[in-house]
């Protein structure tokens, strides 16, 4: 099984009010210092990973990785290839904002080895972009997307919907425009009010009211119908792609395969160990200086923990999970993983499906995914 590598770039030009990712705004960033740190962290991770498997995917996430100098991206990719080697057809993704400044680097990033970009467009409406705290405008985003499509083999865009007071008519029109832009992958996220964000404070203060659950569920259903009709069906609860254009890197997570994580706040999972890097950039650099690695925590996961995580991740996918394969992989009985009575109940209700040893969530069940996971995954597995 080939490996995946995640590289976290923690810096942004501004902190979006809805974002609870590990992102930071700094007036000055010493790129030479960060190059040495990330290369050191990569080598330290390689020393802890004895697998001879080559990398099948690399993902630069953040933060805003498109703010990285192309030379830094190129040097990190060269080091990764030297350490692990690359599979034929490796997917190398970089997240970015669709601004004219960052688009100016797209050609150089493609030359450096990036072959897929994921652009945080978030909306095609200027008023909404201002509400979301974005620094780009809708027209600027479309121009950046067109530039990306000339330089990269694969391009994805992110959009946020189920916004306050958003109607079906408004979202249908905006999503139709997005589908007409010609990308083969869309990540479509409902606006979620995370507790540590400025939006959470705004909601408490009554600045705005989030969209109610029922209209949000209607938008979710409409979104899946429209993307499927356009040839980009949902392959994960929030991700839609033309067949063959799914994000290989993110499939690694959802299929619960191994991935290595470097950079501030990066998570990783190798064999039965879970790793976490220091989140604050300054603490991360200090750890690198002190120990040569940015790891703040590394712990061994029990078979039951791994089985639970694999279920929670895999049931997000349209393809579902092979319960027999997971049982053998983690040496945990099927009865200990899935509540069979609940499985039969929700299958009869049309919310889950079972085909031989594969189980999954139906279209009707996807809007209720979180509740279904709590019902299906055995309580003994979670608490045991």
Q: Is 59 helix (H, G, I), strand (E, B) or coil?
A: strand
Distance CA 118, CA 29 (A): 23
Distance CA 280, CA 265 (A): 7
What is the secondary structure of 179-215 as a DSSP string? Answer: HTT--SEEEEEE----TTSHHHHHHHHTS--PPPHHH
Domain architecture of the chain: domains with CATH: 3-253 (3.20.20.70), 303-383 (1.10.10.920)
In this prediction the pTM is 0.95
What DSSP designation does 320 have? Answer: -
pLDDT tens by residue, the chain, 384 residues: 458 999 999 999 999 999 999 999 998 999 999 999 999 999 999 998 767 889 999 999 999 999 999 999 999 999 999 999 999 999 999 999 999 889 999 999 999 999 999 999 999 999 999 999 999 999 999 999 999 999 999 999 999 999 999 999 999 999 999 999 999 999 999 999 999 999 999 999 999 999 999 999 999 999 999 999 999 999 999 999 999 999 999 999 999 999 999 999 999 998 889 999 999 999 999 999 999 999 999 999 999 999 999 999 999 999 999 999 999 999 999 989 999 999 999 999 999 999 998 999 999 999 999 999 999 988 767 555
Tokens for 36? 């040495």
Distance CA 202, CA 193 (A): 10
CA-wise closest residue to 66 among 139, 124, 21, 116: 116
């Amino acid at each position: 099984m080939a490996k995946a590598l995640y590289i976290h770039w923690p810096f942004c030009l501004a902190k979006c009010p809805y974002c609870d990712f590990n992102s930071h705004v700094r007036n000055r960033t010493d790129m030479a210092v960060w190059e040495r740190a990330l290369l050191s962290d990569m080598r330290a991770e390689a020393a802890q990973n004895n697998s001879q498997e080559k990398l099948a995917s690399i993902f630069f996430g953040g933060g805003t990785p498109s703010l990285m100098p192309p030379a830094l991206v190129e040097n990190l990719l060269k080091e990764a290839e030297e350490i692990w080697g690359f599979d034929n057809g490796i997917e190398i993704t970089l997240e970015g904002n669709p601004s004219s400044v960052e688009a100016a680097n797209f050609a150089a990033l493609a030359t450096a080895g990036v072959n897929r970009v994921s652009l945080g467009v978030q909306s095609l409406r200027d008023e909404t972009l201002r509400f979301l705290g974005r620094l780009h405008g809708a027209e600027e985003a479309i121009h950046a997307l067109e530039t990306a499509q000339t330089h990269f083999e694969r391009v994805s865009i992110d959009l946020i919907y189920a916004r306050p007071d958003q109607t079906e008519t408004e979202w249908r029109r905006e999503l139709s425009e997005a589908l007409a832009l010609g990308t083969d992958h869309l990540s479509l996220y409902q606006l979620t009010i995370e507790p540590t964000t400025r939006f959470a404070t705004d909601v408490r203060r009554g600045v705005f009211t989030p969209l109610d659950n029922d209209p949000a569920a209607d938008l979710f259903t409409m979104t899946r119908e429209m993307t499927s009709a356009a040839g980009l069906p949902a392959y994960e609860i929030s991700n839609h792609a033309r067949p063959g254009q799914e994000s290989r890197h993110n499939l690694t997570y959802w299929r619960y395969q191994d991935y290595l994580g470097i950079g501030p706040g990066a998570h990783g999972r190798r064999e039965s160990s879970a790793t976490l890097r220091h989140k604050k950039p300054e603490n991360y650099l200090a750890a690198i200086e002190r120990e040569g690695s940015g790891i703040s925590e590394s712990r061994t996961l029990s078979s039951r923990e791994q089985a639970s995580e694999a279920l929670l991740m895999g049931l997000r996918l349209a393809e579902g999970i092979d319960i027999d394969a997971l049982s053998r992989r983690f040496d945990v009985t099927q009865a200990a993983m899935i509540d069979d009575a609940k499985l039969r109940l929700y299958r009869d209700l049309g919310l889950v499906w079972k085909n031989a040893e594969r189980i999954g969530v139906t279209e009707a069940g996807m809007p209720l995914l979180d509740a279904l996971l709590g019902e299906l995954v055995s309580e003994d597995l979670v608490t045991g």
